[in-house]
């Protein structure tokens, strides 16, 4: 089909076709291409390996999976679609479209190699999401009954901890009477989704977390969390309509960004936010989404997004024993989504949140201007606890945000920024991406007032929220010699008001140097040095006044990957972490691990095994490591103390429609007989996680 397509193209493409046919054969025969999850895991890992907090990354994975299984056509894909491939930055997307315009289309995906903006790794990431077809994307006619285009997906998932945690003790024991988990220690997850590329999606997601009751007691309706969505594109005057649960990302995220956004990552020049503005929500993060209706339409150069959301949210109630049922005061948001104990049940759906918003974008050649307005209303008033560092926390029952954002391309420069106002205080962000030959640089300045509040914001930052921060970030990415890539960033920041464990305004800086050396496509050496410095209360200080001291952290990592020709792939890592805080004793830690994965090609079975040993002086020198996992469950674990961690991930493709994943992981400590704290405490020296997932696509 490909050859027919290209016959009426220029003859210069004939050579490219030959190249494509040749490489195409190799590509499909290669090992380890059992399922798209493997490929996507590599991408997400790249983005996350620097991350040191837990977040539900399944949203990103979902988006990528659906594109992988229904790839974009390079000859018709539009800017907005490419934005969904989060590993591509704005300039890279533009360069692909420019190339297509200049050479009147792609004859094969291997032509991507001739685009200077795309490096080897990016092309490897990108290839499976792209195809070269003959029907322009826009003109494709979809029919739900046509199996070629529609995709139905069912996912069943469960997980548990094998050891008995304190919260699951015998409930008749008088010690436990006060606090225990109401339900059993298993979590259940069910999802159904029907979609046609990114044009139409209908879905239902149900979840019960470990410890929550199921079809009895406090959870008469069964699952603790229900989510449903309907999403369709290009219907009537609308470019998109979302009903049910959806997520909205506007501008650079200072006013509104409910999806996932990366801040600092090893993709050092990926600082421009370019997510899809409106997308269906399928994930299980129980707080970070919208529920209601949203529409998008376009009139010539003006694009408009409008949405309304109305849902019950969790919140900690002030004096729950004495509150009047009409209008309880809320002290803080409760975002974990766990409703396992009586206390947690009291927080459940204790407040109604209504949000309405609109976003306008004006497109002029190289210039894009955006205007955002958001207004929100809670049924119960927030009255946060007044500790000095919480002075600017959200209070009251209303919020408003107004923001203006822009982006402008000029030659190899790309300027962008956003200025937001909440009725009281401002937040500013402006950045530039510059491409000088082989060198890419990014510069970003942000200034978020301590008083600025935007409850659904997510933008470039060092602290937890978009407020109380000023900083300048500079990054550089280039290849000094072939096979070698160097990424670097330095970020200086200042927090003008107090923060958690920071009893005065503080300063800090951070830098990262990341070097990749790939002597051939099967081997990759990676050395990463990350240094952080910031002021913090001295721990263990006994005087009534807290004293600030500079805390320095340094981590050095060596990572070696071998994708052997054949069924094996190996990975080894050695990591050092050091920490010092003023006169307190400096601490250090080490982590070593070895991964082995093996693909039984004939059996469609893949096993991934890791063995890790960690030895750190204390919690301050803990080390984070990304782990392979079953789909929709990403894990970044931190290790401290002395012990070992091992896991086995088992992935079996039962037939062309269904696949099964099992993960068994155990952490075993050599330095303690009690693990965890509170209701999660385990009496023993090991903790074993068991996870199971079945996915059926038809």
Residues near other proteins (CB under 8 A): 519, 523, 560, 562, 564, 566, 568, 570, 572, 574, 590-594, 596, 611-615, 642-644, 646, 668, 670-671
Token pair for 219: 């959870």
State the sign of the Cα–Cα–Cα–Cα dihedral 282, 287, 288, 289: positive
678: helix, strand or coil? helix
User: Quick one: 481 or 545, whose CB is closer to other proteins?
Assistant: 481
User: Quick one: 308 or 646, whose CB is closer to other proteins?
Assistant: 646
659: helix, strand or coil? strand
Q: Cβ of residue 161: shortest distance to other proteins, in angstroms?
A: 19
d(CA 270, CA 515): 17
User: Quick one: 503 or 685, whose CB is closer to other proteins?
Assistant: 685
Smallest Cα–Cα separation from 654: which of 696, 601, 691?
696
For residues 342, 343, 346 and 350, what is the CA-based torsion angle, rounded to 10 degrees?
-150
User: Quick one: 140 or 560, whose CB is closer to other proteins?
Assistant: 560
Token pair for 57: 């990354």
Q: Cβ of residue 637: shortest distance to other proteins, in angstroms?
A: 16
User: Quick one: 5 or 572, whose CB is closer to other proteins?
Assistant: 572
User: Quick one: 426 or 568, whose CB is closer to other proteins?
Assistant: 568
d(CA 487, CA 121): 13
For the CA atoms of the chain, what is the radius of gyration?
A: 26
Q: Which long-range contacts (CB under 8 A, 24 or more apart) does 322-331 make?
A: 327/379, 327/380, 327/381, 328/380, 329/380, 329/381, 329/382, 329/383, 330/378, 330/380, 330/381, 330/382, 330/383, 331/382, 331/383, 331/384, 331/385
Q: Cβ of residue 53: shortest distance to other proteins, in angstroms?
A: 25
Q: Cβ of residue 553: shortest distance to other proteins, in angstroms?
A: 17
d(CA 467, CA 395): 15
**Phi and psi (nearest 5°) for 267?**
-80, 80
Q: Cβ of residue 184: shortest distance to other proteins, in angstroms?
A: 29
Q: Cβ of residue 597: shortest distance to other proteins, in angstroms?
A: 13
Q: Cβ of residue 653: shortest distance to other proteins, in angstroms?
A: 23
User: Quick one: 18 or 674, whose CB is closer to other proteins?
Assistant: 674
**DSSP string over 224-288:** SEEEEEEEEEEETTEEEEEEEEEEEB-TTSSS-B-S----S-SSTT--S----SEEE-----SSS
Instruction: Name 458's Cβ contacts closer than 8 Å, sequence gap at least 6.
Output: 253, 257, 258, 259, 260, 261, 466
Place of tokens 């001295």: 538
What is the C-alpha end-to-end distance of the chain, expressed in Å? 25
User: Quick one: 140 or 515, whose CB is closer to other proteins?
Assistant: 515
User: Quick one: 359 or 571, whose CB is closer to other proteins?
Assistant: 571
Q: Cβ of residue 517: shortest distance to other proteins, in angstroms?
A: 12
User: Quick one: 530 or 615, whose CB is closer to other proteins?
Assistant: 615
Q: Cβ of residue 572: shortest distance to other proteins, in angstroms?
A: 5
Q: Are 447 and 473 in contact (CB under 8 A)?
A: no
Q: Cβ of residue 552: shortest distance to other proteins, in angstroms?
A: 19
């Amino acid at each position: 089909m490909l050859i027919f397509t290209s016959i009426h193209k220029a003859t210069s493409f004939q050579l490219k076709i030959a190249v494509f046919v040749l490489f195409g054969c190799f590509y499909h025969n290669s090992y380890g291409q059992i399922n798209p999850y493997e490929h996507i895991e590599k991408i997400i890992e790249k983005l996350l390996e620097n991350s040191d907090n837990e977040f539900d990354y399944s949203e990103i994975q979902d988006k990528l999976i659906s594109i992988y299984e229904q790839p974009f056509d390079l000859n018709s894909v539009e800017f907005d679609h490419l934005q969904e491939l989060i590993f591509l930055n704005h300039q890279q997307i533009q360069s692909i479209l420019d190339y297509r315009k200049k050479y009147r289309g792609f004859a094969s995906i291997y032509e991507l190699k001739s685009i200077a903006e795309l490096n080897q790794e990016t092309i490897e990431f990108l290839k499976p999401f792209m195809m070269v077809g003959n029907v322009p994307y826009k003109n494709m006619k979809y029919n739900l009954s046509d199996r070629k285009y529609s995709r139905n997906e069912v996912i069943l998932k469960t997980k548990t901890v094998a050891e008995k945690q304190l919260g699951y003790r015998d409930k008749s024991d008088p010690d436990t009477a006060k606090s225990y988990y109401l339900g059993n220690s298993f979590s259940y997850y069910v999802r159904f989704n029907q979609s046609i590329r990114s044009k139409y999606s209908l879905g239902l997601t149900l979840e019960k977390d470990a410890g929550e009751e199921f079809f009895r007691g406090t959870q008469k309706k069964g699952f603790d969390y229900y989510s449903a969505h309907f999403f369709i594109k290009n219907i009537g005057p609308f470019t998109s309509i979302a009903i049910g649960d959806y997520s909205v990302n506007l501008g650079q995220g200072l006013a509104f960004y409910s999806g996932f956004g990366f801040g600092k990552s090893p993709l050092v020049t990926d600082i421009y936010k370019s997510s899809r503005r409106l997308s269906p929500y399928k994930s299980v993060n129980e707080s970070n989404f919208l529920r209601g209706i949203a529409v998008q339409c376009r009139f010539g150069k003006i694009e408009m997004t409008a949405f309304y959301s109305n849902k019950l949210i969790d919140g900690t109630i002030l004096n729950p024993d004495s509150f009047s049922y009409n209008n309880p005061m809320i002290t803080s948001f409760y975002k974990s989504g766990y409703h396992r104990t009586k206390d947690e049940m009291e927080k459940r759906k204790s407040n109604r949140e209504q949000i309405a918003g609109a976003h306008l974008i004006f497109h002029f050649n190289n210039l894009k201007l955006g205007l955002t307005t958001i207004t929100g209303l809670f049924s119960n008033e927030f009255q946060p606890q007044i500790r000095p560092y919480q002075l600017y926390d959200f209070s009251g029952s209303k919020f408003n945000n107004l923001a203006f954002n822009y982006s402008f391309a000029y030659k190899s420069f790309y300027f962008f920024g956003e200025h937001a106002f909440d009725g009281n205080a401002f937040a500013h962000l402006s950045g530039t991406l510059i491409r000088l030959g082989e060198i890419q640089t990014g510069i970003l300045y942000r200034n978020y007032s301590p008083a600025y509040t935007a409850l659904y914001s997510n933008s470039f930052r060092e602290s937890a929220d978009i407020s109380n921060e000023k900083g300048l970030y500079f990054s550089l990415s280039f290849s000094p010699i072939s096979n070698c890539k160097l990424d670097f960033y330095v970020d200086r920041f200042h927090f003008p008001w107090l923060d958690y464990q920071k009893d005065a305004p503080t300063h800090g800086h951070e830098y990262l140097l990341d070097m990749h050396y790939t002597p051939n496509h099967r081997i990759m050496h990676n050395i990463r040095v990350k240094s952080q410095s910031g002021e913090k209360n001295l721990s263990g200080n006994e005087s009534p006044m807290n004293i600030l001291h500079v805390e320095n952290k340094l981590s050095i990592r060596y990572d070696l990957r071998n994708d052997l020709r054949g069924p094996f792939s190996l990975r080894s890592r050695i990591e050092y972490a050091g920490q010092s805080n003023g006169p307190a004793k400096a601490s250090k830690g080490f982590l070593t691990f070895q991964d082995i994965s093996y693909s039984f090609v004939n059996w469609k079975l893949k096993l991934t095994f890791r063995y890790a040993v960690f030895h750190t002086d204390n919690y301050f020198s803990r080390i984070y490591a990304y782990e392979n996992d079953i789909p929709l469950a990403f894990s970044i674990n931190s290790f401290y103390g002395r012990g070992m961690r091992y896991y086995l991930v088992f992935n079996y493709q039962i037939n062309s429609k269904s696949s099964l994943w099992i993960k068994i992981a155990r952490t075993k400590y050599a330095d303690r007989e009690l693990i965890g704290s509170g209701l999660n405490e385990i009496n023993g020296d090991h903790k074993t996680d068991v996870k199971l997932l079945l996915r059926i696509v038809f």
